[in-house]
Amino acid sequence: MAKRKKIEVMYDDASINVSAEVDHIWSIANTLRGTYSSDKYKNVVIPMIIIRRLECALAPTKAAVAAAFEKNSNTPEGVLRRKAGFAFYNTSRFTLAELLADSKNIAANFESYIEGFSANIQEIINNLEFKKEIEKMDKNNRLYGVVKKFSELDLDPQTVDGHVMGYMFEDLIRRFSTNAEAGDHYTPREVIRLMVNIILAEGCDDLLTEGKVATVLDMACGTGGMLSTMYDFLNRLNPNIDVRLFGQEINPESYAICLADMLIKGQDAGNIRFQDTMIKDCFPVQSMRIVIANPPFGTPWGGKDAPEGVEKAVREEYETKAHGRWKGGLPATGDEQLLFVQHAVAKMDDRLGRAAIIQNGSPLFSGGTVSGESQIRRYLLENDLIEAIIGLSTDLFYNTGIGIYVFILSKNKRKERRGKVQLINAVNYWKLLSRSLGKKRREISRDDMRAITELYANFKENKDCKIFDVNEFLYKEYSVYQPLQRNYAITKERIEKMLQDGVLDSIYKPELQEELEEKDLRTAAEEEKLNALKAAKPLYNGIVKTLEGAVSNKIYKKKSGFLKVFTPLFDKLPRQYQNMKEAKKQDLQAKIAFGLSEMDKTAEIQKDKQGNIIYDSTTKDTELVKLNMDVEIYFKREVYSHVPDARYVYEYGDEGKL
C-alpha cells in the first residue's frame, strides 16, 4: 500500500478574542431594557450588526456609488455593483454616523438610508421586519442611542475578517439562544473545524488543482458558520480554487446573517435560500462536492407537531417521484434527522461527494429491525455510503448537554475503506473550559482535533477505533412460529380469562356502558353508543350464561372432539345470534373456542383442508440473523435444538409471508 501523506490539520487563529466586541454589542442590547424583553433584543441587534457590517464593507466606494446614482437614477445595477466592489451597494449619502446630525428626523432618515441598499439587502432587512423596530425604538427614545453606539463599532471586513465575525456571532447567538427550541443547536466553532478537517483529510486531492470549482452545501445552514469555515479552509489549501456555497435555512434571523456574510464573500445571493429543506430542495439539479450540516435534533416531520406543509411534501415526494430524495424510506414522524441524511446523500456528487453530518443518538439506535429507521440505515450500509461514525463528548454545545455523533459519508471511499465502516470513540477527547458558556463546559482542543483526525485518516484499529465489514451491521428479522397445538375446555377459569382477553368486546363492553351511564351529559354520539350497548347486552349475557351452564372438567386434546360438544351450545342463544349471517356466526364461534383453549405440545397438531400444518400466531417469536450468515445453519444451531418443529418466515418483504 502506498505511503499516506502526513495529515495536515488546520485551525482558526487560537488568539482570536472577541469578548470586548461582544460585550460592547451586549451593552447596546441592554440599553433596550424596558422597551424590549431580553429575548427580543435580537430583533434589534441582529439587523443592526448586518447593517453596520455592510456599511463598513461599502465605506471605501460609497461616495462613488452615491455620485453615480445621483447623476443618473437609472444607472444599471451591474454598474453600481462594480463601483461598490460587491454584489450589493447603497446609493444613499447617509451613514449611521451621519444620521445622528438630525436627531429629530432620525427614524425617517434611517428608513431612507435602508431604502438606498440594493434589493438583495433590502430583502434581508425587510424579512426581519426591522422598520417596525425603528418605529418602536424612536417612539421609546432608544433609536438615537442605538444608532450612535453601532456607528462606533468597527466591523470592517478588512480588520474584522470572517473568522472574527464568526466568533462574534457564535457568542451572540449563544446568548440569544439560551431558550432556543429543542433540537435547535448552534454548532461550536471547534466542532465545525473538526468536521472540516476530517472531510478534507482524504478523498479531496482534486480540490488542490488550479481553477477547481468546489460546491459546498449546508442544508440547515443557520448563520453560515459551517459554510464560512469550509470556504476559508479550502481557500487556504488552494488560493486558486473557486468555492461556491449553497445553503437553506428556516430561521429568519439566522438566514439574514448568513446571507449578508455570503454577499460580503462575493457569493451568489441566489444560492442562500429561506426555505425548509424538507419541503423543497432549492438546488435540484446541482450536485455538491461537499455537504456539511448540523440538522435539528428530534424535530418532527409529521403529525400535529410538525411544521406546516412538511409531512405533505415529504410523503408526496416519496410516493410520486420514485421516492425522490428518500431512497431509503421514511423514518418515524417524530424525528427528521434521517431525512436530512438522505438529503445529503441525494445531493452528494455521484463520483466524488463527501459529507459530514452531526446527529444525536436517535438515527443510530431508534426503531426495530423492520422500522423505517432501520431500513434507512440498511440503505446507507448496502450502498457503502458510511465511511465513519465518530462519537464526541457531552457538554460541547451551548444549550444542550447531550453527546453527539458525526457521520462521515462518502461516494469516494479509498480502496481500503470499501465495504468497511470505521467507528471512532472520541468521547474522551476534550478539555474543560475555564468557565462554562451556557451548557457548554467542554471544548475540543487543537491536540484533541489532531488526534481525532489522525484516528480517522490512519484507519487502523486501536482502543478508540474499530473497523467493521458493513455486513456486520446488516440483519434480517425472521418470525418464528410453532405448530397450532392446543387443548380445549369449558371451565370457569377459562371463561373468565376469555372475557378478560376481550374476546366478546366486539359485541358488548360492560365497563363502557357503565362509563357512559355515569355521565351527566352525553353527546348524541355517546347516547347512540349507549343504546347500542344496551341492545347488545342480552346476546353477551346469553353467551356467558350458556357457557357457564356447560362448565366441565373435561379437557379435549383434539379440536374436532371439542367442537362436537361446543357447537350445539350456540343453538340455545337468543334471536340476535340466530339472525346473524352465517360467516359472522362462524367467526364468533372460532374466537370463543380459541379463547377457551391453551397451548399444549401434547395436543393434536392442527392442519388445514390440504393437510398443511397450521401455525399458532400466539407463539410468534423473532430471530435476528446477519445477512452474511446461512439462515438454515443459524436456525439449526439456535432454534431447532430448542423447538424442533418451529417454522421461520421473513414477513417483511417480498420473500414470502406466513
pLDDT 10s digits, 576-627: 888 889 999 999 999 999 999 999 999 999 999 999 999 999 999 988 888 7
CB 106 within 8 A of CB 138: yes
Indicate the Cα dihedral angle 266, 267, 269, 275, nearest 10°: -150
What is the average per-residue pLDDT within 135-140? 95
pLDDT band at 629, cuts 50/70/90? confident
CB 455 within 8 A of CB 524: no
Cβ neighbours of residue 181 under 8 Å, at least 6 residues apart? none
For residue 417, the tally of other CB atoms under 10 A from its CB is 19
CB 448 within 8 A of CB 198: no
Q: Which three cell numbers stand for residue 82?
A: 462594480
pLDDT band at 254, cuts 50/70/90? confident
Of residues 359, 324, 353, the one with CA closest to residue 341: 359
248 backbone dihedrals φ, ψ, rounded to 5°: -130, 140
Residue carrying C-alpha cell 450588526: 49
| H-run or E-run covering 292 | strand 290-293
pLDDT band at 308, cuts 50/70/90? very high
What is the average per-residue pLDDT within 311-334? 94
pLDDT band at 2, cuts 50/70/90? very low
**CA–CA dist 556, 490 (Å, integer):** 10
**CA–CA dist 541, 545 (Å, integer):** 6
3-state secondary structure of 198: helix
Length of the chain: 658
Of residues 489, 490, 500, 475, the one with CA closest to residue 629: 475
- Number of helices (H), then strands (E), in the chain: 25, 16
**CA–CA dist 188, 170 (Å, integer):** 7
**CA–CA dist 207, 199 (Å, integer):** 12
Task: Tell me the chain's radius of gyration from C-alpha atoms.
Answer: 34
pLDDT band at 183, cuts 50/70/90? very low
Cβ neighbours of residue 410 under 8 Å, at least 6 residues apart? 203, 353, 354, 355, 385, 387, 417
3-state secondary structure of 643: coil
pLDDT of residue 185: 54
What is the average per-residue pLDDT within 224-229? 91
CB 246 within 8 A of CB 217: yes
**CA–CA dist 322, 502 (Å, integer):** 42
Residue carrying C-alpha cell 417612539: 139
pLDDT band at 12, cuts 50/70/90? low
HSE of 332, CA atoms in CB hemisphere, 13 A: 13
CA angle 270, 286, 214 (to 5 degrees): 85
**pTM, rounded to two decimals:** 0.76
Q: What is the pLDDT of residues 327-338, one digit of tens each?
A: 999 999 999 999
DSSP structure class, residue 603: S
pLDDT band at 251, cuts 50/70/90? confident
